[in-house]
Amino acid sequence: RGATTGPESACSMIAVLRGSISEKTPSRVIVDVAGVGYDVLVPLSTFYVLGEPGAAVTLRIHTHVREDVIALYGFITRLEQDLFERLIAISGVGPKLALAVLSGIEPTDLIRAIRTQDVARLTRIPGIGKKTAERIGLELKDRLPASLQIAEPAPAASTAADQLRDDLLSALVNLGYQRPVAEKAVERVLHAQPDARFETALKDILRALMKS
């Protein structure tokens, strides 16, 4: 029986998780793999394309070890994982902030903002100040492969009106928006689109908030 040197060596081999969705929220998903539930943190760009609980899922995994804490970060595409790992390599950008970046801007828009040094666009992401935005643009501008692409997200099923409102508010608060601002934005979009899906409504809300 081979020996290991601790949690990091035991988990470093997790590159992909294949199983079914046990639970999901905008920031995390529990993946059931042969009866074992893995708690995986995900950005909204991944959440958008996940199925409902019970659906099959395959996630690319980045294992982050800090002191006695092991966290799994999951991504639906290689592009998202690539951007995440490049972001956390920047001084001052940890996994939580990297997830916030991927949740606050589409991957292709992030690549465009980095390549054009669009600091104003990057600072519209909750949690990203001017200095961090400048650092991201400066350190990644010449390190992004020219051929980076992303697949279009697939729509997910709609929810009941009250649950949809609660889910949208929870997602926005988790992304760093103040609750009064989030509530106004949610009401505005749901008034115009009462039958909107969660993912569609959230995208429209984020676009509106970033323009304001």
Largest Cα separation within the chain, whole Å, is 61
The span from the CA of 212 to the CA of 204, in Å, is 13
What's this model's pTM, rounded to 2 decimal places?
0.64
pLDDT tens string for the chain (212 positions)?
444 444 444 444 688 999 999 999 988 999 999 999 999 999 988 998 898 999 999 999 999 887 777 899 999 988 899 999 999 999 889 999 999 999 988 888 899 899 888 999 999 888 899 999 999 999 998 777 665 544 444 444 443 677 778 778 878 877 878 777 888 888 888 878 877 888 888 888 888 888 76
Q: How far is CA 24 from the centre of its chain?
A: 13
23: helix, coil or strand? strand
Distance separating alpha carbons of residues 107 and 127, to the nearest angstrom:
17
